[in-house]
Each structure stands twice: as C-alpha cells, then as structure tokens.
A = this chain, B = another copy of it.
Amino acid sequence: MSGSRRGRRPGAPDTRAAILVAARSRFAEHGYAGTTIRAVATDAGVDAALVHHYFGTKDDLFLAALALPVDPRALLVPAVTGGGPEGAAERLLTTFLGVWDDPELQPALLTIVRGLMDPAAARLVSEGFLPVVLGPVGQALGIDRPEHRMPLVASQVFGLILLRYLLEVEPLASMPAEQLVATYAPTIQRYLTGPLP
C-alpha cells in the first residue's frame, strides 16, 4: 500500500472499480446493515485494509457506491454547524437549493432520486442513506432527539424536491430560491428545534 493520503491518489483504477462493483452488489442484495467492508473486500478479491485505504469507513464506501455528484455530509454539515440551531433551517435550505439548482449537478441528482422509487432501493435509503447523511447533520446541529426530528425535515425537503424538480409543479418549479427559503424555513426550523407532540 502506498503512503499517499486517502483521496489524493485515486489508487489503481481497476481495483477501485472492482471494489465499487462489489460494494454496489452487496449493498443492493444485503442492504446497508447487512453489508460489511470485509464481505465487499472478499467479493472484490482484495484485502479489507485496501477498501478502507481507498474509501474510508463503511459510510464513505456506501456514499461512493451511490456515485453522488457531491458528498451531502461535506456540504450540509459545515452549513448547519456555523451558527448553531437558530437560523439552521435557513442555512440548510439555502445550501440544499444551491446544489439542486446547479445545472451541472441536477441531472445526476434527478437520476438518483428516480432510482429511489424502486422497492429494493427503498431499504437502502431508509437504512443507509438517511442515517448516514442525517445523523451527522443532526449531530452538528446539537438538537435534541435528532433521530426523531431529522426524518421530519427529510419529509419536507424530499417533497419539495419531488414537486420542484421531478414533477415541475408551478409555482414551485419557477420560484426563486430566496422565496422558497423564506416559505419553508419556518417549517424546517420547527421540525429542528420547535415543540413537537
């Protein structure tokens, strides 16, 4: 194994690709919880340490297997951390819409969201994607009961994505991002920090 830092050198392309293929197949067949780095390594014919070296943790490998155009954690965690819980909804929505409104990123994001409707993918999202992404964001916010509150946030944000980008329902499809932020921030802020039943 070389001494290069993770992410600097992508590693041998064939080995990386083989690990990703094995990871996708494992995650799809056994779900997020049922997949181990060790099993992926065995499937790919490499050592587990090499998987760690190239991809990091199981969460990192999972996000790499999804081939997202951006790492949602790297994007959302700093956005919500700077400033604490107050105003977090506004920062979260602004960051989120900035990514989705980016014409370079939007096609890949749309493809991924469409794929989520497949029943097999649903389990990966509920067991894998949401905890992997929402967990660190909830932690960074320092809110109480993040495991209860973050899914509420996701339910509004996913619905907005669905209507604005996939179904292109007006007036949401053409609404300026600032107006969307002002419209949805009170909802998201209540889910993050308000009283809930």
- Identify the A interface with B (CB < 8 A): 113-114, 116-119, 122-123, 125-126, 130, 147-148, 151-152, 154-160, 162-164, 166-173, 179, 182-183, 186-187, 190, 196-197
User: Assuming the A-B contacts A159-B159, A197-B182, are A151 and B126 also in contact, with contact meaning beta carbons closer than 8 angstroms in the complex?
Assistant: no
A154 touches B163 (CB 8 A): yes
Q: Are B122 and A151 in contact (CB under 8 A)?
A: no
| Given known contacts A155-B162, A159-B158, A126 and B168 CB-to-CB distance under 8 angstroms | yes
**Known A162-B159, A167-B126: A183·B116 in contact at CB below 8 Å:** no
> How many angstroms between the C-alpha atoms of A120 and B152 in the bound complex?
29
Other CB < 8 Å A-B pairs besides A114-B117, A152-B183, 6 of them? Answer: A154-B159, A155-B156, A157-B159, A159-B160, A159-B162, A187-B187
Q: What is the distance, in angstroms, from A151's C-beta to the closest C-beta of chain B?
A: 5
